[in-house]
Amino acid sequence: MNDRTLSIVLPLASAIAIAVAWQVTVRVGGIRELILPAPTDILENLFRTLPSLLHQAVVTGREALAAFLLAVIAGFAGAAAISSSKILREILYPFIVTLQLIPKVALAPLFVIFLGIDHEARIVFAALLSFFPVLISTSVGLQHTDQSALRLCRSLGASPWRTFWSVRVPFALPHFFSGVRISSTMAVTGVVIAEFISAREGLGFAILAAGARSQTAGAFAAIGVLCGLGLALYGLVAGLEKLAIRWYRG
């Protein structure tokens, strides 16, 4: 098998092995469904409630995508700003680090107070949670551009703007997309955390509702849909990364 085939077969085989072991452990051990449902029970619940879960997934996915795009734009703009000016970097970096050290869950109720219980609060909270990976990774990439390439641009009289887009950005793309991949997963996480606090719909609300009714299989089914949503967004970012790097290098 080649590497591409192994990257598909090995995770799939591992998932099947874990599911089989889980099923056998629950059935043989007589574990109650309230404590740990079997995979077959979760699948049965998933298929029975799929229309409702898909509706909740659309709500969560829409908010996560909006938060993700906001985080990417703000993170890239912030990285470009602090990498272009040493003074600005010295001023802003301590505040960025301090804000990053604050547990974001502790800030979630404040977003409800400031922005209410609608979509805006959840989007802004999730964007804040997923903003930092893009900012830090992109700023590192922009600051570590090949110095010989920068000297060549200066010798050719290239403007700072042209140098930024033609040299600095291509060199920073791997770092940028490394942060974006992390940000894509954190955007989904941020929306779900916000839905736990202030939502009447969404997958986070579905998980809480299932837990309140002691429907453990329903909670697992919602978590499974949530994992699929996160993987879809991550896969989209990975595909865009390949296209962007190919376009810049081609």
In one-letter notation, the amino acid at residue 105 is V
Range picked from 30-34, 219-223, 237-241 for highest mean pLDDT: 219-223
Is the pLDDT reported for residue 216 higher than 80?
yes
pLDDT band at 229 (very low <50, low <70, confident <90, very high): very high
**120-139 tens-digit pLDDT:** 888 988 998 899 999 989 98
Residues 6+ apart with CB under 8 A from 187: 64, 65, 67, 68, 71, 126, 127, 129, 130, 233
Separation CA 167–CA 212 (nearest Å): 54
Helix (H/G/I), strand (E/B), else coil: 2: coil
Query: Considering the entire predicted model, what is its pTM?
Result: 0.87
What DSSP assignment string belongs to 60-71? Answer: HHHHHHHHHHHH
**132-173 tens-digit pLDDT:** 999 989 988 888 887 787 788 888 777 788 888 878 888 888
CA angle 27, 29, 32 (to 5 degrees): 70
71 in Cβ contact with 134 (< 8 Å): yes
